[in-house]
Amino acid sequence: LTEAMVRSGEVMDWSKSQPSHKVDKHSTGGVGDKVSLILAPLVASFGLTVPMMAGRGLGHTGGTIDKLESIPGFRAQYTAEEFARLLLSPSNGTAERLNAAIVSPSRNMCPADKRMYALRDVTSTVTSLPLQTSSIMSKKIAERPDSLVLDVKFGKGSFNTNVEESLEL
């Protein structure tokens, strides 16, 4: 399933742009989770490149993309080429690269995940381990980071109610 979701769209090609070490972090989310919003620019400030493909809210949570799209004019969907250009372009008229971008799966990048994600929410399969895993990893494989940190939550406000479920994920 994960491989099919990756192949449903474009995969990042970093060969032309030569970004610095590419790192990403994925959170399983939960009520009040805002780690990505703080971590992406912080890590980028150290010269690392942070290509982050995030998700919308599922079930009772608000996703990173939902939070960002509450900002008037914020755009979350980009093609792979636009994503790379956004991430690696100079910012604010300086020569420094932006080095961090948080985007949503689009019709060009992981479109199958975008569809499956919406279905999970309405079919009560948000906590399905195979669907969680394929959703998370399809986005990360399409980004092609050099390093990845998985922030797996558990407890109240999370999809995984106990540590055992989180460890299994």
Banded pLDDT at 95 (limits 50, 70, 90): low
pLDDT of residue 92: 64
pLDDT tens digits, 44-89: 999 999 999 888 877 767 788 888 999 999 999 888 888 888 888 7
Q: Model-level pTM?
A: 0.83
8 A C-beta contact, residue 53 and residue 103: yes
**Residue entry with tokens 């799966």:** 105
Phi first, then psi: give them for residue 94, nearest 5 degrees. -100, 175
Q: Does position 33 have pLDDT exceeding 80, yes or no?
A: no
- Residues annotated as catalytic are 26, 113, 120, 135, 139
pLDDT higher than 80, residue 39: yes
